[in-house]
Amino acid sequence: MNMIENRRIRLLRQTTIYLTLIAGSLVVFFPLVWTISTSLKTPEQVTVREVQLIPDPVAWANYVDIFDLVPVWRFLKNTLVIASASVFGGLVTCSLAGYAFARILFPGQRVLFFILLATMMLPYVVQLIPIFVIFDRLGWVGTFRPLTVPRLLGHNAFYIFLYRQFFRGLPSELFDAARIDGCTEVGLWWRIAMPNSKPVAAAVGIFAFQFAWTDFLSPLIYLGSKQEMWTIALGLNGLKGFEGMGSTLPMMMVMSIFMIVPMLVIFAFGQKYMVQGVTVSGLKG
């Protein structure tokens, strides 16, 4: 009797959990489904009062017409210029610094590492305006340099921290043997540390690309007035300016999908590394 009751309670509980999770998934996914649906509508189909998830007819042409309306390729090229600086800085400069903090002993290391962690805590709001003033004085506003130079120099404490944690975890034997054979520190970094750092390199590479792809405030401040230098993010925001309500709405959804799909692809392949990176950052706190 009791057993049956227990089983019934458990079944009820299981069902509730699954139903909640499925309902939640639908709510979470609905905006994306609606985006795809709207991207395939004509302007007339958009301004109706009824929900219509499958457009009739399907306006496939939107995905071609967008290239006439918006200089997508130029926005893409601009974004990729910034993203490559971001990824290069992450994989090379941050890795070098992470290696030094993990495996080379040098005077003042602890203090410098503390400073590194402190910069991670610094809210970006205190640097935003002075950095703009500095770049303005250098005449760099309206160029890619404010967005590329800091990244190339490895101005990202989080990536350095990830690399440092990873390099510390590598077995010392790996390095000792090469050191005995007369390998220099640069050689150790390049021949031992780097080839063994695929998981962390994947995480940092993905984060760096993702950051450049999605960043909005910095491109807005430094490139906002020069339309030919806009990134995809600025281009998408710029579509808002086309007035006339529904007329550009499907186009905005097409553009949103262009922005989203690369992120989904990266996520599909790099999910493991990304989640590791996120949880490492979370658990260290």
Partner 1 sequence: MASVQKREIAPSVSVTQPARKRQRWIGYLFILPWFVSMIWFDAIPFGMNLYLGMTDYSVGPIEQANWIGLENFERMLDDDLFRQSLANTIYFIVFSVPLTLILAFSIALLLNTRIRFLGLFRTVYYIPSIIPVVAASIIFLWMFNARAGAINQILYAIGIDPIRWLTNPDYTKITLVIISLWGFGAQMIVFLAALQGIPEQLYEAVAIDGGGLRARLRHIVIPLMTPTIFFNLLVGLIASFQVFTTAYIILGPNGGPLQSGLFYMMHTYNNAFRYFEMGYASAMSFVLFLIILAFTLLMIWTSNRWVYYGDE
**Separation of alpha carbons 3 and 1, rounded Å:** 5
**Separation of alpha carbons 19 and 24, rounded Å:** 8
DSSP conformation letters of 194-236: GGG-HHHHHHHHHHHHHHHHH--HHHHHHHTT-GGG--HHHHH
Closest CB to partner 1 among 4 and 105?
105
25 lies in the binding site for partner 1 (CB under 8 A): yes
**Separation of alpha carbons 265 and 278, rounded Å:** 18
Closest CB to partner 1 among 58 and 275?
275
Q: How far is the CB of 282 from partner 1 (least distance, A)?
A: 4
CB count in 10 Å sphere of residue 18: 10
Counting residues that bind partner 1 (by CB under 8 A) gives 100
**Separation of alpha carbons 262 and 267, rounded Å:** 8
Closest CB to partner 1 among 46 and 59?
46
Q: How far is the CB of 40 from partner 1 (least distance, A)?
A: 14
Residue among 12, 23, 61, 115 that touches partner 1 (CB under 8 A): 115
Task: Please identify, among the stretches 58-66, 80-88, 172-180, 195-203, the one whose residues bind partner 1 according to the rule CB under 8 A.
Answer: 172-180
**Separation of alpha carbons 277 and 216, rounded Å:** 22
Taking the alpha carbons at both ends of the chain, their separation in whole angstroms is: 48
19 lies in the binding site for partner 1 (CB under 8 A): no
CA-CA distances (angstroms) from residue 64 to 72, 76, 139, 238? Answer: 11, 16, 38, 19
The binding track of 30-59 with respect to partner 1, each residue x by CB under 8 A or -, is xxx-xx--x-------xxxxxx--------
**Separation of alpha carbons 253 and 38, rounded Å:** 7
Footprint (CB under 8 A) of partner 1, residues 132-171: 132-134, 136, 150, 152-155, 160
Give the type of residue at 117. L
DSSP annotation of 195 reads G
Q: How far is the CB of 73 from partner 1 (least distance, A)?
A: 18
Footprint (CB under 8 A) of partner 1, residues 174-233: 176-177, 179-180, 184-186, 189, 210, 213-214, 216-217, 221, 233
Q: How far is the CB of 93 from partner 1 (least distance, A)?
A: 5
Footprint (CB under 8 A) of partner 1, residues 250-269: 252-253, 255-256, 259-260, 263-264, 266-267
Footprint (CB under 8 A) of partner 1, residues 79-108: 93-94, 96-97, 99-101, 104-107
User: Are 86 and 214 spatial neighbours (Cβ–Cβ below 8 Å)?
Assistant: no
Q: How far is the CB of 281 from partner 1 (least distance, A)?
A: 8
Q: Which two tokens stand for residue 277?
A: 């990176």
